[in-house]
Structure 1
Amino acid sequence: MTIRPLVILPDPLLRRVCDPVAVVDDEVRALADDMLETMYDAPGIGLAACQIGVMRRVVVLDIAREEDEPAPMVLVNPEIVWSSDELSTYQEGCLSIPDFYEDVERPAAVRVRFLDRNGAAQEIEADGLLATCVQHEVDHLDGVLFIDHISKLKRDRVVRKFAKAAKEASRTPA
């Protein structure tokens, strides 16, 4: 397993739609293992493949608390097939937008269909933090960031901040 570098805003890869995975094979499982290693190292509770520069529809999640046993999930080609009318608000952050957090309102519960790490079709219902995390990561696969769910003023401010930081970093010799 390898810790991979994270793609950070304003990288245009974060706005691209990821390609479906044709078959869950050893390469996809190795990708998922690298993603889990990267997510735990960051630390985070979810990671989409595009966040490490791989444009495939693969997501890893683990919402277990630090004191609990890890409970990693691998979702290949996840698709939200139902969302509740009831909404909930969580303060979200993103490994690709470090140190920025904002309240985001999303459906309180979802049903998601996906392939597991063995290629078996699965469907789960999620609520609470898991529902929020699934929606956040599936958004990534579609080129959508959590900041797209906040006011334009706040979104523009954070995008400018990260664009400025990227510009300054590119001018600084290594």
Structure 2
Amino acid sequence: MARATPRGRARGAGHPGTARPIRRLGDPVLRTACDPVRTFDAALERLVDDMFVTMYEAEGAGLAGNQIGLARSLFVYDCEDDKGRRHVGHVVNPVLVAADGDTLVEPEGCLSLPGLRFDTPRYAHAVVEGVDAKGRPVRVEGTGYFARCLQHETGHLDGRVYVDGLDGDARRAAMRAIRESARG
């Protein structure tokens, strides 16, 4: 997920790991439902580190496994909720167990569609359950922008991109902008 307001590299400065290329819309891996992670080892921890570095270099707020070409079910995040509290972490094998509350329509972006933002409806509250890189259970609950991020990233892991949730004139405008961006 693209950060609502870029903050620069300082946020992730000094984080261990190696940046990986981000896949763009049109790459089939983005339309692939991700496989569950079954091995919890040092390689998975390095992958999480790489994902954080990749997300920070792209000035993102979240990044899913398939966005770096791995159809593996995990994502990382660093974003604020509606009260300005910062949330940083990762979830392996996440399941969106709740998405409720008011529907908020706000601009949303994606690291796999760089430079594009479209008004996207999302619920104001979301809960994701899964495990961490060591296999320990985690439950992440978010509101506002953080809820949007949780919904966005779990969607990626099911092979969806946020523009799939648009309809009518909004969807037509988004598809037109994506085509023009690809040409240019």
- TM range, smaller chain: 0.7 to 0.9
Structure 1 residues 28 and 49 mapped into 2: Cα distance closer, same or farther (>3 Å)? same
Picking from 158, 173, 177, the partner of 1:142 is 158
1:156 is the counterpart of 2:175: yes
Gaps of 5+ in 2: 1-16
CA–CA separation in structure 1 for the residues paired with 2:160 and 2:61: 18
Identity of aligned residues (%): 38
Match of residue 32, structure 2, among 16, 19, 24: 16
Kindly state the Cα deviation for residue 40 of structure 1 after the two structures are TM-superposed: 0.4
Which residues of 2 match residues 1-174 of structure 1 at below 5 A? 1-64=17-80, 72-151=88-167, 152-164=171-183
Give the TM-score taking structure 1 as reference length: 0.85
1:160 and 1:96 map into 2 onto residues whose CA distance is: 14
Contact kept in structure 2, 1:36 and 1:72, CA below 8 Å: no
Paired with 1:83 and 1:70, the residues of 2 have a C-alpha distance of: 20
1:67-118 residue CA offsets vs partner (Å, 9 max, x unmatched): x998531110110112214212231101110100011111110121011122
Following TM superposition, by how much is the alpha carbon of 1:37 offset from its aligned partner in structure 2, in angstroms? 0.3
Residues 31 and 159 of structure 1, relative CA distance in 2, 3 Å threshold: same
Is this contact kept in 2: 1:80–1:112, CA < 8 A? yes
Cα deviation code 1:43-67 (max 9, x no counterpart): 11100011110110010000159xx
In structure 2, the CA distance between the partners of 1:149 and 1:8, relative to structure 1 (3 Å rule), is same
Determine if contact 1:148/1:155 at 8 Å carries over to the other structure: no
Q: TM-score, normalised by structure 2?
A: 0.81
Structure 2 contact 118–174 (Cα < 8 Å) conserved: no
Q: Which runs of 4+ in 1 moved over 4 A?
A: 68-71
Q: Distance in 2 between matches of 1:94 and 1:33?
A: 20
Deviations 1:132-166 (A, max 9, x none): 0010011010111111122331242134235545x
> Which position in structure 2 is the counterpart of 1:170?
none
Q: Which letter maps to 1:22?
A: R
Change in Cα spacing, 1:110 to 1:64, as seen in structure 2 (3 Å) is closer
Taking a change above 3 Å as real, the CA distance of residues 30 and 63 of structure 1, as seen in their structure-2 partners, is same
Aligned residues: 163
